[in-house]
């Protein structure tokens, strides 16, 4: 199997390294030279563009930030004609980026016109640490046959792969998961402010909660890890806040798409996001 991995950010670099550890021939591309060289040092081959990376691949993994970037990777941007211009019929494109289900279906239709299968393979499990450890959880949407083709590569990068349903189901599951996670971050931030106001040390209140408090959650039990992740994010706190904003607005859109009442996400987008933008996620 030959895999092309496009997007070597906080998650992508660790994921690509796990492909290499599994003995999978991997070609990488990123607009930044440093992570490309890091992957090359681990055994990857560097590509000159997205189109170049995809030309000989059986599976193309895409892990960039935004919907606009995913579109550029697949359909071209600037001098790069994109993955769909060079990938051979039968190639499977696995989009790991968190974008809207509608965009997934639209891009899958464009890929299908060229005989290329596209699946959405969203990820969760603990951020860059899990990506480096190969302990991510994948939530996949798309045809059985395409998922089966990509499965050896996915298994190399994750501890579990859930086939959630048709195209768009994987990113829908991720959007829901992110909504719960980011909402928990907001709750813990406010709880810690209350604790500080009451003269209770952060370490002490978190220890109490972890030791059996009814408000315990993965977020509260891994608060220091979340702080470290924010500080080490590629584009700093501003990038984390941008990601948080994107995820919550996708959740708002998902609820609207299905006609579901979602007053909590509406409140967070309208009232909490401005404060988060001013102070950061864990500020």
Per-run averaged pLDDT (10 residues), the chain, 283 residues: 96 96 98 96 98 98 95 96 98 97 97 98 85 93 98 97 97 94 89 95 93 86 82 60 86 94 92 74 58
- The pLDDT value recorded for residue 279 is 66
- Sequence ranges of the chain with CATH classification 3.40.50.720: 2-166
Distance CA 95, CA 120 (A): 5
Spelled out in words, what is the top-level CATH class assigned to the domain 2-166? alpha beta
Specify the pTM. Answer: 0.87
- The pLDDT value recorded for residue 275 is 76
Task: Enter the tokens of residue 145.
Answer: 């046959």
CATH 3.20.20.120: does it fit domain 173-279? no
Closest CA to 90 of 24, 149, 50: 149
Q: Which of 21, 174, 203, 249 is catalytic?
A: 174
Collapse the DSSP code of 79 into the 3-class scheme (helix H, G, I; strand E, B; otherwise coil) and give the result.
Answer: coil
- The pLDDT value recorded for residue 238 is 55
Question: Is 237 one of the annotated active-site residues of the chain?
Answer: no
Distance CA 143, CA 159 (A): 21
Pairing of strands 25-29, 2-6: parallel
What Cα–Cα distance (Å) separates residue 280 from each residue in 121, 158, 185, 223? 28, 29, 11, 14
- The pLDDT value recorded for residue 274 is 81
Task: Enter the tokens of residue 219.
Answer: 């977020």
What Cα–Cα distance (Å) separates residue 146 from each residue in 24, 54, 142, 160, 188? 18, 16, 7, 17, 40
Distance CA 30, CA 45 (A): 12
Collapse the DSSP code of 231 into the 3-class scheme (helix H, G, I; strand E, B; otherwise coil) and give the result.
Answer: helix
- The pLDDT value recorded for residue 273 is 80
Distance CA 109, CA 115 (A): 10
């Amino acid at each position: 199997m030959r895999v092309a991995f496009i997007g070597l950010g906080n998650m992508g670099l660790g994921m690509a390294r796990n492909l290499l550890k599994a003995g999978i021939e991997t070609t990488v591309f990123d607009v930044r030279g440093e992570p490309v060289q890091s992957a090359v040092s681990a055994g990857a081959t560097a590509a000159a563009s997205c189109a170049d990376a995809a030309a000989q691949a059986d599976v193309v993994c895409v892990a960039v930030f935004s919907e606009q970037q995913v579109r550029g990777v697949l359909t071209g941007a600037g001098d790069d004609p994109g993955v769909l211009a060079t990938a051979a019929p039968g190639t499977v494109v696995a989009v790991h980026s968190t974008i809207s289900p509608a965009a997934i279906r639209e891009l899958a239709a464009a890929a299908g016109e060229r005989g290329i299968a596209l699946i959405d393979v969203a990820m969760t499990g603990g951020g860059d640490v899990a990506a480096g450890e190969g302990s991510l959880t994948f939530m996949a949407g798309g045809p059985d046959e395409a998922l089966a083709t990509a499965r050896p590569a996915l298994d190399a990068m994750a501890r579990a792969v859930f086939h959630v349903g048709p195209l768009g189901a994987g990113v829908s599951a991720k959007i829901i998961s992110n909504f719960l996670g980011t909402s928990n971050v907001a709750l813990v931030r406010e709880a810690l402010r209350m604790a500080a106001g009451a003269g209770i040390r952060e370490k002490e209140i978190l220890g109490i909660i972890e030791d059996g408090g009814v408000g315990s959650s993965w977020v509260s039990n891994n608060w220091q890890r979340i702080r470290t992740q924010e500080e080490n994010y590629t584009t700093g706190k501003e990038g984390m806040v941008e990601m948080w904003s994107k995820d919550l607005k996708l959740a708002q859109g998902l609820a609207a798409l299905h006609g579901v009442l979602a007053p909590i996400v509406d409140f967070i987008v309208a009232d909490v996001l401005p404060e988060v933008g001013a102070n950061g996620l864990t500020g």
